[in-house]
Amino acid sequence: MTRVFLSLSLIFSVLFTFACVDKGANTAVAPTGDTIRIGVYGDTTGATSSFGVSTKNGIQLAFEEINAAGGVNGKKLEMIFEDDQGTPEKAKTVISKLINQDKVVAVLGEVASSNSLAAAPVAQEAKIPMITPSSTNPKVTEVGDYISRVCFIDPFQGSVMAKFAANTLKAKTAAILGDNSSDYSKGLTQFFEEEFTKLGGKVITKQTYAQRDQDFKGQLTAMRGQNPDVIYIPGYYGEVAIIARQARELGMNMPLLGGDGWDSPDLFKLGGAALKNAYISNHYSADNPAPEIQNFVKTYTAKFGAAPDSLAALAYDSAKVLADAIKRAGGTDSSKLKEAINATKGFAGVTGTITLDGSRNAVKPAVVLELAPADSKFTFKETIYPEGMTPPATTAASNSNAMNSNSNMMNTNTNMNSAAANTNTNKASNATK
Amino acid sequence: MDTFVQQLINGLTIGSIYALIALGYTMVYGILRLINFAHGDIYMVGAYAGFFIATAMGFAVNPSAFGFVVTLVGAMAIAAALGMAIERFAYRPVRKYSKMTTLITAIGMSLLIEYLFIFIFSPTPRSFPQLLPVENFTLFGNATISTSQIMIFVISLLLMGLLQWIIYKTKIGKAMRAVSFNITSAKLMGINTNFVIAFTFALGSALAAAGGVLTAQYNPKIDPLMGIITGLKAFVAAVLGGIGNIPGAVLGGLLIGAAETLVVGYGSYVGIPSTYRDAVAFAILIIVLLVRPAGLLGSNVQEKV
């Protein structure tokens, strides 16, 4: 009797397995119906969860707007979201799931460069276009021609802050405290140091930490002995806030500098008043009075109850760029879609005008924001332009506040050109070693 | 010189926290021969309990010594209750099977607590309110010590003293020592071993929770996974000092804390990057275990296999 039961259950389980496989095969055909499936992946439950939440919100808003206006080529866009908990291994798993199981036609994500780097080869191999909204490490798009981004890259971002430290803050010496577990941070460390040294400054000490570290007083105390003019901390908000607190506790009151990884509503909750006298480079400023930006800020705030950070804005732009490319490609054929994305030119997004260069990176200006912990917000300080882009109104929707493009900045601009070009070609490949 | 003193203060601060947590590992091991892997998560629960007490009772807006003490004691009580519950419902039912079963239960318990907290309280780090005004005192030169660091030293010393008193001067302490010596004989002598074991869990968990609240005062970011690496290092500290040995756990904690801070501060001079701080803690463990397998203060007892 037992044997009969066993063999019966065996047969059923085999049948069931086949049934599942069959079902999987069916759904593979289904999406060619009335929706276009777009995969989105990000960290909504890990150490950088505000990044994933902002990204998801930004894309959701963009899709809703597009669908409300009739969709793309008469079809609605459908977001399929997967959480990767902020780890590269998971990022790789979820992108495989999105591509192989959900049969998405394109993928949007990740924020952290290390996660994008882990996932990109999967997309490249499957020939599914992937647009990362906000991974700034140059290596990401070097993975292949199916990978592109709508943000600037770290050689530029690192040089922006070096420029700001040397020219605006008149710093002569700098210390760097980087996150050794992130490609983003390692890249920025390198590019900041190169540019700062070129401008006659000196990086007197470099220290590192790992994500999820809680105590940074060891590194900070070692730095305090050398008394740098500024400290550059190219990390993510969770650790940065605590670093700022511990630095101030040790009586280190010099300016703290960072990148877009600081941009999170949680930064001020964790860091508090310690974040005074701190500056970051970022993709856009919510203060920008341009109507298209204010409009976006208003809709987003009404929908999600918080002002959009730059990650939300970039995600929103990446979704719009993708929709635009699908329209131009006349469908979702992956090769045609890839060509259309890579040919994106002069697309007016909320983070500036997006034109992809030959390496599928967006060339855009960066803004320097000052942290105002009293109001928990970032206030606009100045705009710094990359090579070949001029401050005047030719780039209508860019982040420039016209009044700020004074002669000092023009000077900044010229020096920037050679630096960006140089780092772009020669040094970029060292970034993630 | 002031830099060195500062590094030492920094190191001993986190070392004291490791010591508080290590005590729980070592006591449970001493009594049950069980590595309680959920112990690091109790430390996290302690910090969260403190957070909710402080927020609910309004201590967050009006910092006071009274509020701090209530938060600390409340968090310790909640953690003690949780520790006893875990022992009663997870470990006791499987205690009669092999040691491995309990060990795996402990790992499962640890993951359960972590992800339950992520599920309920979200993975977003929270900012622990400042319960006491922060002040910095200059010792000499550039070397400073903050009120939260002084609190950590003073309270850990008090708690360790209290623990020593409980173990050596009270009846329940005597029972704990008897159970750790031989659980079967203790039972034959009429000791309620189940109660003693539950008490041990409560004691260890309370110490871990105190560590959690003190850390949160010092470094106000708490998240559901904060107990993993801290718990692991506290475990290393317990083994380093000689697992099952209480002064050993304290010594091990202080050593690990000081060692990792000094690596960060001075490692670069000898070619060790500061990111190797954790690796150094484990390297020290390996070296000590090679030379003294029982740990620094552990007694070398031949185990019958």
Residue A269 with chain B: CB contacts under 8 Å: 126-127
Structure confidence by residue, pLDDT tens digits, A362-372: 988 899 999 99
Measuring CA to CA, which residue among A97, A68, A64 is closest to residue A78? A64
Average pLDDT, integer, range B24-46: 92
Q: In this model, does residue B144 exceed pLDDT 90?
A: no
Q: Which of B11, B221, B274 sits opposite A219 (nearest CB)?
A: B274
Helices B277-291 and B246-266: crossing angle, nearest 10°?
130
Residue A355 makes CB contacts below 8 A (sequence gap 6+) with: A344, A345, A346, A347, A362, A363
Q: What pLDDT score does B267 carry?
A: 78
Average pLDDT, integer, range B152-181: 92
Q: In this model, does residue A269 exceed pLDDT 90?
A: no
pLDDT-above-70 percentage for chain A: 82
Indicate the pairing of strand A173-179 with strand A202-209. Answer: parallel
How far is residue B75's CA from residue B51's CA, in Å, rounded to a whole number?
A: 9
Q: What pLDDT score does A77 carry?
A: 93
Look at A221 and B215 and tell me if their CB atoms are within 8 Å: no
Q: What pLDDT score does A42 carry?
A: 94
Give the pLDDT band (50/70/90) at residue A423.
very low
Q: What pLDDT score does B141 carry?
A: 77
- Most confident by average pLDDT, A199-213, A388-402, B38-52, B86-100: B38-52
B51 Cα to chain A: minimum distance (Å): 14
pLDDT-above-90 percentage for chain B: 56
Q: Is A47 on the interface with B (CB under 8 A)?
A: yes
On average, the pLDDT of chain A sits at 83
Q: In this model, does residue A45 exceed pLDDT 80?
A: yes
Q: Which of B123, B223, B274 sits opposite A218 (nearest CB)?
A: B274
Q: What pLDDT score does A11 carry?
A: 54
Of A14-23, A301-310, A399-408, B29-38, which gets the smallest average pLDDT?
A399-408
Structure confidence by residue, pLDDT tens digits, A169-207: 999 999 999 998 888 899 999 999 999 999 999 999 888
Q: Which of B10, B125, B230 sits opposite A218 (nearest CB)?
A: B10
- Whether cis (ω within 30° of 0) applies to the bond prior to A193 is no
pTM as predicted:
0.79
Of A289-293, A310-314, B22-26, B102-106, which gets the smallest average pLDDT?
A289-293
Give the pLDDT band (50/70/90) at residue B300.
low
Residue A414 makes CB contacts below 8 A (sequence gap 6+) with: none
Residue A224 with chain B: CB contacts under 8 Å: 3, 6, 142
Q: What pLDDT score does A7 carry?
A: 58
Q: What pLDDT score does A432 carry?
A: 37
On average, the pLDDT of chain B sits at 89
Give the pLDDT band (50/70/90) at residue A409.
very low
Please give the torsion angle defined by the CA atoms of residues B50, B51, B56 and B58, in that order, rounded to the nearest 10 degrees. Answer: 90
Measuring CA to CA, which residue among A179, A134, A421 is closest to residue A283? A134
Q: What pLDDT score does B36 carry?
A: 92
Residue A249 with chain B: CB contacts under 8 Å: 134, 136, 144, 146
Residue A50 with chain B: CB contacts under 8 Å: 124
Q: What pLDDT score does B147 carry?
A: 86
Of A172-176, A362-366, B171-175, B211-215, which gets the smallest average pLDDT?
A362-366
Give the pLDDT band (50/70/90) at residue A391.
low
Contact in structure between B288 and B296 (CB atoms under 8 Å):
yes
Q: In this model, does residue A16 exceed pLDDT 90?
A: no
Structure confidence by residue, pLDDT tens digits, A94-116: 999 999 999 999 999 899 999 99
Give the pLDDT band (50/70/90) at residue A416.
very low
DSSP code for A429: G
Give the pLDDT band (50/70/90) at residue A3.
low
Structure confidence by residue, pLDDT tens digits, A205-221: 888 898 878 889 889 99
Extract long-range pairs of A335-342: CB within 8 Å, 24+ residues apart: A335/A127, A337/A105, A337/A106, A337/A129, A338/A127, A338/A129, A338/A145, A338/A146, A341/A106, A341/A129, A341/A131, A341/A148, A342/A145, A342/A148
Best to test chain B binding among A43, A185, A205, A221 (most B CBs inside 10 Å) = A221
Average pLDDT, integer, range B146-170: 91
In sequence order, the β-bridge partners of residue A356 are: A362
Amino acid of residue A291: P
Of all residues in chain B, the one with the smallest CA distance to A177 is B274
| CA contacts within 13 A on the Cβ side of A64 | 10
Please give the torsion angle defined by the CA atoms of residues A306, A154, A387 and A407, in that order, rounded to the nearest 10 degrees. Answer: 60
Give the pLDDT band (50/70/90) at residue A31.
very low
How far is residue A232's CA from residue A206's CA, in Å, rounded to a whole number?
A: 9
Q: Which of A46, A208, A225 sits opposite B123 (nearest CB)?
A: A46
Q: What pLDDT score does A57 carry?
A: 94
Predicted complex ipTM: 0.80
Give the pLDDT band (50/70/90) at residue A13.
low
